[in-house]
Amino acid sequence: MANEETARKARLTAALFRVLYLFSASVEDVLPNLKLVRAGDGHLILKLPKNLQPLMGEKPKSRIEQLSKEIGEEISMGSLSEQFRYFFF
Q: How confident is the model at residue 48 (pLDDT cuts 50, 70, 90)?
A: confident
Return all residues near 30 (Cβ < 8 A) that are at least 6 apart: 23, 24, 52, 55
Report which secondary-structure segment, H or E, holds 63.
Answer: helix 58-71
In the chain the domains, ranked by start, together with CATH numbers, are 4-88 (1.10.3210.10)
Mean pLDDT rounded to a whole number for the chain: 83
Has this prediction a pTM greater than 0.85? no
pLDDT at 87: 47
Give the chain's radius of gyration (CA, Å): 13
